[in-house]
Structure 1
C-alpha cells in the first residue's frame, strides 16, 4: 500500500466533463435503401444527425496508489469515461488533466490476429516503450503469467486461433509487465478463469504499491470488491456515488435489484 502522503498526489483530475456522441442516419429505416431514396426525394445529401449526451458534467480526482472501480448499468458512461481519460475521445466541455501517460487496456485492445502470440508480446512491449533487452527479460514471465501455454505451445500459434479468454489474458499480461502512471482496465479481466483473476488482482496491487493509479471497469462486483477500495458509480452519464467500495457497490446492488 502506498504511503498516505503519496496517496494525496493527484494523477487524474476530471473537471465538469461532458461527452457527446454524434450519430448519423438516425430514425426509421436508417442506412437502408428506403431512407436513401427518401433523402433523394427530399433533396437531402446526408442523413439526419442526432446527439447522445453520454457523460454529463462529471468531476472526480484520482490519486497515486489508488485502485478505483467504475460500476454502472450498460450505457452508463463507464467505458466512455475511460476512453476520454486515455485521450481517445474529445470532451464537449470541461477538462481532463493527467500526471503521466494513461494506458487503456480493453477487451478490444489492438493485437495482430495473423501474428503469433510471441510476436504480439514483443510488439506490445516495444509499443509501451520497452527496450529489446527489457522484452527479452520479461518475455517468459509474460507468457507464464497469461497461462496460455498451460495446455500446449499456443504462444507460437497465430492469435486468430486463440479463444477470447486466452487473448484477453495475454493482453493483460503484456500491459501488466510495465509499471504505468495510470492504467485503465475496461472489462479486460472478465474472461479470465479464477486463478488468472487472482494473479491479476495481485498484480494490480503491486502496480498501486509502485505509485501507479488503476481504474477498473467490470460487471463483476466481486472483482471490484477484491481489487478496489474506492468505487465510482455512474448511471445515465452522471456520478451517483463516489466512496468506499463496500458502501457504493452495496447501494448499486440494491438499485439493480429494485429495477428487476
Structure 2
C-alpha cells in the first residue's frame, strides 16, 4: 500500500449545517528533538565546550513524528487511531489537545479538548477520593457537581468492588485500577472533544463494556471521541470511523471495520 493512499470516510447523509466540525487538522507536521548523548568522564566539560562553540551534541537527533496529516472530525463521531508503535498516534492526540505545537500546519478545535491517558496526572500520595475531587476540578466541574456525581464515578470505576480502595493512596493502586478511575472521572461530564490514549486497555471486559456504553452516550451528547488502542476489537466495537497512521503518515481514513481489516491484512503480509 502506498504511503500516500487515503481512502475517504463514507459520505454522511446529514446536511452541511448538521455536520458541525469539532477538530480540523490541516497538513500537520510535528518534529521533536531527542537527546541521547553518551556520558562518561568529561561529558559535562564536553557539553559546555559544545555550548560555547555552538556545536550540536553527537547524540541529538530530530524525530519527524507526524508528516502532513489532514482530516476533519465532527460532532457525534467516535474515531479510532490505529497503527504500529511509533506511528505518531499519541503525538497527534497531544497536538489536538494543545500539548504539542505543530511544527508546520495548524490544528483547529471547538472548545477545550480533554486528553485522557494511562499516565494522566493524578497524585499518587493522595487518596482516590481526593483525586476524584482534584480530577473533577481539573475537568472543569464545580465542587457541587463533583459531590453530586461522586458515587457514580466510584461505582463506574469498580475500584471498590473488592474493598474500600477509594480511601487508599493512589500509589497503592494497580495500573488497571488507576486507569479505570481516570476514565471514570473524565466520563463524568460531557466534552466537546475527548481524547483517550490507551486508557481502556487495562480494564477488564466488564469495565470495557461500561466504557463503550459511556462513549456512545458522550457521542449522543454531541461530543467527539478519539480513541487510541492496540485492541482492534475495541476500535471496531466503539468507533464508527478509524484513521490509520504509519511512520507518521495517514494511510487510510474510513469506516472502522474497513480500516481495521486493511491494517490487519497489511500486518499479516509483512
Q: Using structure 2 for the length normalisation, give the TM-score.
A: 0.89
Which residue is 1:4 aligned to? 14
2:134 to 123, 143, 151: 123
Q: 1:257 corresponds to which residue?
A: 268
Separation of aligned partners in 1, 2:66 and 2:31: 7
Alignment pair present for 1:107 and 2:118:
yes
Q: How far did 1:38 drift?
A: 8.9
How far does residue 257 in structure 1 lie from its aligned partner after superposition? 1.3
Whether 2:77 is the aligned partner of 1:70: answer no
CA contact (8 A) 1:39 1:47 kept: no
The 2-side partners of 1:58 and 1:35 are apart by 43
The offset of 1:50, in angstroms, is 1.8
Distance 2:42 2:68 in 1: 35
Alpha carbons 1:7, 1:65 under 8 Å: kept:
no
Alpha-carbon displacement from aligned partner over 1:214-247 (angstroms, at most 9, x marks no partner): 0000000000010001000000000000000111
Distance 2:38 2:119 in 1: 25
**Runs of 4+ residues over 4 Å off in structure 1:** none
1:131 to partner: Cα distance: 1.3
**Deviations 1:152-192 (Å, cap 9, x if unpaired)?**
00000000110000000000000000100000000000000
Contact 1:7 1:63 survives alignment (8 Å)? no
1:170 to 2:181 alignment: yes
- The number of residue pairs the alignment matches comes to 252
TM-superposed CA distance for 1:7, in Å, is 5.7
Unpaired stretches in structure 2, ≥5 consecutive residues = 1-12
Give CA deviations for 1:97-131 in whole Å, capped at 9, x if unaligned: 00111000001000000000000001111111211
Residue 214 of structure 1: aligned partner: 225
- Structure 2 residue 146 is the aligned partner of structure 1 residue 139: no
Q: Residue 3 of structure 2 corresponds to which residue in structure 1? A: none
Within 5 Å, give how 1:213-232 maps onto structure 2. Answer: 213-232=224-243
Q: What's the CA shift string for 1:67-97, capped at 9, x where partnerless?
A: 0000000000000000000000011110000
1:7 to 1:80, Cα distance in 2 relative to 1, 3 A: farther
Q: Against the structure 1 CA distance between its residues 202 and 173, is the aligned structure 2 distance closer, same or farther, given a 3 Å change threshold?
A: same
Following superposition, the deviation at residue 35 of structure 1 comes to 7.7
1:233–1:252 CA contact under 8 A, matched in 2: yes
CA contact (8 A) 1:17 1:55 kept: yes
> C-alpha separation between the residues in 2 aligned to 1:234 and 1:125?
32
Gaps of at least 5 residues in structure 1 are none
Q: CA RMSD in A?
A: 1.7
Q: Is the 8 A contact 1:16 1:93 kept in 2?
A: yes
CA distance in 2, matches of 1:4, 1:153: 48
